[in-house]
Structure 1
Amino acid sequence: MTTPEWAPEHEVTAELASTLIAQRFHELRGAPVERLATGWDNTVFLVGGEWVFRFPRRRIAVPGVEREIAVLPVLAPRLPLPVPVPRFAGEPSDDFPWPFWGARTIRGRELADVRPPDGERAALAAATGAFLRALHDPVLARDAGGGLPLDPMDRADPAIRAGRTFGRLDALTALGVWKRDEAVTAYLTEALGRTAPGGDPVIVHGDLHVRHLLLAPDGRAAGVIDWGDVCVADPAVDLSLAYAGFTGAAREAFLAAYGPVPPEREAAARTLALNLSATLAEYAASTGRKALLAESLAGLRRAVGE
């Protein structure tokens, strides 16, 4: 049996997290620790009802954890939505071989869990577009982007991303959750002949999808989390959310707040939207996450629609 890509190399339990935190941060000794969320690369715990701690699950995530610790305190004051700001940074030890960090919690639920109707996403979309306009400011890249890698996962390259998506869709078909869609196949086939957009790179979140945008109880944007893939790249890397998460009037509101997106950047963003949606859908189908599966499959349809 093939080991899933998201299988942990180190699984941190609530008990271990409590021990590691108490050893390093005495003010948090005795605070209750409960598992909050699990992703491909990190396990997240709520500590004392106030702090969120992220522990890597796989070695590949460690450089991202280190970037979050270094960069998020610089980015946070420059952005219009809350992002995590590491307050506690844990060093590797014999008990746990990798760094980890804790920040004050951002209250909200993942877009993938809330799943508001498409027709009720305009305010959320507008706030997200304005957030990305600030994040993608070239001045911010000059001020804070010097130590960040350049698109290390080639997410702005539509040919590469399209080529990696066909297998994901085949897996979804084999799992019985997806029927082949001619519009999706045609778009990906065309994308195989496209090149990455030109232009100067900006700071990007790097993995901005429906799990990483948090919603407040009123449906508005509450914050943006999980910055392990922060890097410098073409803005298309983040604009994929405009096409996977929004459609119709909501997408128009996003783009009105963000600004013009040239055709080659739109094509790269749509291609990445297909890739991320297919990847999330395979993960969700394989791990029993029904809401994420439904949202990700909807993202595939949105990405090739208006």
Structure 2
Amino acid sequence: MARMPAAEVDVTLELVARLLVAQHPDLAGHPISIAAHGWDNVMARLGDDLAVRVPRREMAAVLVEHEQLVLPRLAPRLPVAVPVPVRVGRPTEFYPWSWSVVPWLPGEPAFRQQSADRDRWAADLADTLAALHTPADGDAPRNPVRGEPLAERADITRARIDSADPTGRLRARYDADAAAPRHPGRALWVHGDPHPLNMLSDATGLRALIDFGDVTAGDPATDLATAWLTFTPVGRAAFIARYTAAAGTDVAVDEALWARARAWAARITSALLTGSDDHPELAALGRFAREQVLADG
């Protein structure tokens, strides 16, 4: 069985409460409940308006610090809500890493919507990513697995794709798309992981883009993979058309960009399919994304 990474620290309600008492005692009296267990973090709801984001493994602690660094800068330029930390937590003698208190944002994980309902807000997500994809600051976090040229880690990617789809169709699609020219020009801000479990939506549309732990500087095609991770062909066409119209001059919107984006979708799909047997929603997302990538021929 392909499983999510094991927790290196058991993040319990008792641990969250202890952290709050130690560092933010004015918040410690609010009700706490576990809201989600992710690959990297546990999210605990704190009262009605806040959440506590606590890493469950060391690698994620660095990602939380990246969010603390960049989200205050990025939030004002984005047309949807993002979880800008309202309090910062630091290591203690009983917990080794950084953590955050963030707003509790409206909506549910978008993957829980029907795909046709997600298609209705494809243009809104395109506008959000176009607003994000601007030249990155010099201190943008480095991420070795997002925003990079597709040639990096290519052997690992191909092996994982072969495992995820023994028919060879996904590998053929990836190989053709990964041969596209590299991203030209300056490194741009990249969310790094905008799949529909990292978005919040409701009947009114897209409400928030969350989980910026993979934020980095590099190729915006990494984010544009969401066209295949989130939407059906109908929504994908709307997303591509709107992003093409909305992207800034620092983005080279051409056939190569969308080929790289689809290659990134295949790459992310393979990770979902080979590492999520114990996370049903991530596994289902992987199956959906594989179907969408292969639907393009």
Give the TM-score normalised by the residue count of structure 2: 0.88
Partner AA of 1:278 in structure 2: S
Q: Would you say how many aligned residue pairs link Structure 1 and Structure 2? A: 289
- Superposition map of 1:1-306 within 5 A: 4=3, 6-112=5-111, 114-117=112-115, 119-138=116-135, 141=136, 145-160=137-152, 162-172=154-164, 180-191=166-177, 193-194=179-180, 196-216=182-202, 218=203, 220-259=205-244, 261-284=253-276, 286-289=277-280, 291-306=281-296
User: Aligned equivalents of 2:184 and 2:105: distance in 1?
Assistant: 35
* Contact persistence 2:51–2:103 (CA under 8 A): yes
Shift of 1:169: 4.1
User: Aligned equivalents of 1:166 and 1:205: distance in 2?
Assistant: 23
User: Aligned equivalents of 1:35 and 1:281: distance in 2?
Assistant: 26
* Contact persistence 1:162–1:188 (CA under 8 A): no
Change (3 A) 1:278 1:115: farther
User: Aligned equivalents of 1:234 and 1:109: distance in 2?
Assistant: 28
Partner AA of 2:227 in structure 1: A
* Contact persistence 1:88–1:101 (CA under 8 A): yes
Change (3 A) 1:256 1:170: closer
User: Aligned equivalents of 1:276 and 1:121: distance in 2?
Assistant: 19
Stretch deviating more after TM superposition (5-14 or 79-88): 5-14
Partner AA of 1:100 in structure 2: W
What SS does the corresponding residue of 1:270 show, helix, strand or coil? helix
Partner AA of 1:245 in structure 2: T
RMSD: 2.3
User: Aligned equivalents of 1:59 and 1:51: distance in 2?
Assistant: 23
Give the TM-score normalised by the residue count of structure 1: 0.86
Stretch deviating more after TM superposition (194-203 or 98-107): 194-203
* Contact persistence 1:247–1:305 (CA under 8 A): no
Per-residue CA distance 1:29-52 (angstroms, 9 max, x = gap) = 222211111112111110113211
What SS does the corresponding residue of 2:275 show, helix, strand or coil? helix
Q: Which structure 2 segments of 5+ residues have no match?
A: 246-252
* Contact persistence 1:150–1:233 (CA under 8 A): no
2:249 aligned residue = none
User: Aligned equivalents of 1:225 and 1:295: distance in 2?
Assistant: 17
User: Aligned equivalents of 2:204 and 2:269: distance in 1?
Assistant: 21
What SS does the corresponding residue of 1:221 show, helix, strand or coil? strand
Per-residue CA distance 1:261-290 (angstroms, 9 max, x = gap) = 312221211111111122123333x2051x
User: Aligned equivalents of 2:179 and 2:157: distance in 1?
Assistant: 14
Shift of 1:223: 0.4
* Contact persistence 1:159–1:195 (CA under 8 A): no
Partner AA of 2:193 in structure 1: D
Change (3 A) 1:255 1:301: same
